[in-house]
Amino acid sequence: MVNSEAIDSASSVSTARYLLACVLFVTYLVILGVAYNGVWQIMLNFRYSKGKKTRQEREIGMNESLEGVSIIRPLKGIDPEMSSCLESSFVQDYPSDRFEILFCVDDPNDTCIPIVESLLKKHSHISARILVSQNYNEVSRTSDEHFGPNPKVNNLAKGFLAAKYDIVWVMDSNVWASSRVLKRSVRCMQQNIDNGRPVHGKRSVKLVHHAPMAISVADTEYSLSPISSGSNFASSGSNGHHKRILKKFGAKLDEMFLLTSHAKFYTSFNNLSVAPCVNGKSNLYRRSDLDHAVSQIPKRGHSSAFFNSPEVLKDAFHFTSLGPGHAIKFFSRYIGEDNMIAICLWENVLGRTGMTGDVVVQPLSGEDNSVNDYFERRTRWLRVRKYMVLAATLLEPATESILSGIYGNFAITTLFGLGAKDNQYFYWPLFLIHMSIWITTDYIQYYVLIDSAVHSDKLELLPAWMDSKSLPPLKRSFFDWSLAWLGRELLALPIWVAAIVGHEIDWRGRPFRIKQDLTAEEL
């Protein structure tokens, strides 16, 4: 006789597997939908077409209606290719009497100041100046303009108060933008459009941002072939060669992350506009909108999902009561001020984000860019996001190619009979198809963005490190590219685990802890 308990147990396991497969199959379809929506948006809006103007460029029209803009660039130390990155603000295709550039520096002896001064002399027809913090203390690395643990916001605050115009373009010191970005961004906000298409619904574009890219710019430093003996990192033997690769491979991983996984989901979330998703490399918004948004925080009280603790409500009231331009100081309490600003505009002025089909490019030199450096950077920002959007952070591994391929494979083999033989849970041909499609679309997307950056401006305005004849990404073999891609994919899950189990954040050499109200506390 057949044991009835064994039959019931087998039936229960089969039912549980089927229900789990249903959940995972839906998850798999949603992840693929979001991911490939991002790929489609990149193909549609970022692809370079020679001799063809984009829809938004055709809509730009006359310059008379363009509003004034204050470009604010916080500086600290010297970044790779810093001069060309900063100079990109001076050569914007925008009426010169309608924008200004404010360079914000804490330390009056900062090594970046001579670079800025040379640019001020070179472009004397542009309204630009350096703003230095008052009473800077070299020991504590703080000044009288210290409002919270976030040094970038503390540095920016004087720029917001000195800004001549309501629209501010906050741009990190280590990124380059083409000369067309400012005009397109202002039109995006003025005409309420996102990537050239009108925005409909109750939300309007209140923050314009640009897809962040990183490009490794030193060919010999990033090549997997042995580095010449004249290199600073040269050493004898194959062991030394492997050490050199690991020391500089982090830059390739950064580049790969921003141009593949990050780019597709970043553009997709912006297009879907279900919640803000903003990187602070290059953001444009109205100072008056930010003032008003922060002033609404105390009025909303505990109804806000993000701004609800007594200290937060008190600070929001205090800084907005100081007058126009002071609201930026409120965000000095947060490590991820960029996304918190976007959330504040989203919650309190019904604002959404918009993109222009432009990228901003961070050149990476390879110095201090080891695999461990990359691992720590990604871990740090995942820990910040863990407190901002816990549910999304917990689900993040499901968006990665390898893990999604595994659970998608299990779901499909269960639901569609591929696993019927010997109770199979995994079907290798299906997994290989999944991974082949993923790497192919990543490869195409990667070079669409690279091509977009290389052809984003007039030849005479492109910096030397973006010369298409020598740019390392354009010279790499598929083998070199695929090694970086595979390294990025394999490290995704270990980085996520490290971020979830840890609580402290090492930021610019200082340890921080994120509190329950999302504010940061320096340890």
Catalytic annotation, residues: 338
How many other CB atoms sit within 10 Å of the CB of residue 203?
Answer: 16
The rounded distance, in Å, linking the Cα atoms of 288 and 296 is 13
H helical segments located in 46-129: 55-59, 82-90, 113-122
* Residues 278, 338 contacting (CB under 8 angstroms): yes
* Residues 191, 336 contacting (CB under 8 angstroms): no
Amino acid 130 reads I
- Give the C-alpha distances (Å, rounded to integers) separating 521 from 124, 333, 510, 512: 42, 8, 11, 5
What DSSP line would sit under 400-417, residue for residue? SHHHHHHHHHHHHHHHSS
User: What is the residue whose two structure tokens read 């039912």?
Assistant: 15
Amino acid 395 reads L
Burial of residue 430 (number of CB atoms within 10 Å: 0-12, 13-18, 19+): middle
* Residues 185, 284 contacting (CB under 8 angstroms): yes
The rounded distance, in Å, linking the Cα atoms of 452 and 45 is 10
Of 345, 328, 337, give the one whose Cα is nearest residue 279: 337
Burial of residue 346 (number of CB atoms within 10 Å: 0-12, 13-18, 19+): buried
Tell me which DSSP letter residue 515 carries.
Answer: -
Ramachandran quadrant class, 101 (left: phi over 0; alpha: psi -120 to 50; beta: rest): beta
H helical segments located in 46-162: 55-59, 82-90, 113-122, 151-162
| Residue 517: partners with Cβ closer than 8 Å, 6 or more residues away | 308, 309, 311, 312
Give, rounded to a whole angstrom, the gap between the first and last alpha carbons of the chain: 68
Amino acid 89 reads S
- Give the C-alpha distances (Å, rounded to integers) separating 59 from 50, 55, 62, 326, 357: 18, 6, 9, 34, 14
* Residues 453, 361 contacting (CB under 8 angstroms): yes
What DSSP line would sit under 251-317, residue for residue? HHHHHHHHHTHHHHHHHHHHHHTSS----TTEEEEEHHHHHHHHHTHHHHGGG-SSS-SHHHHHHHH
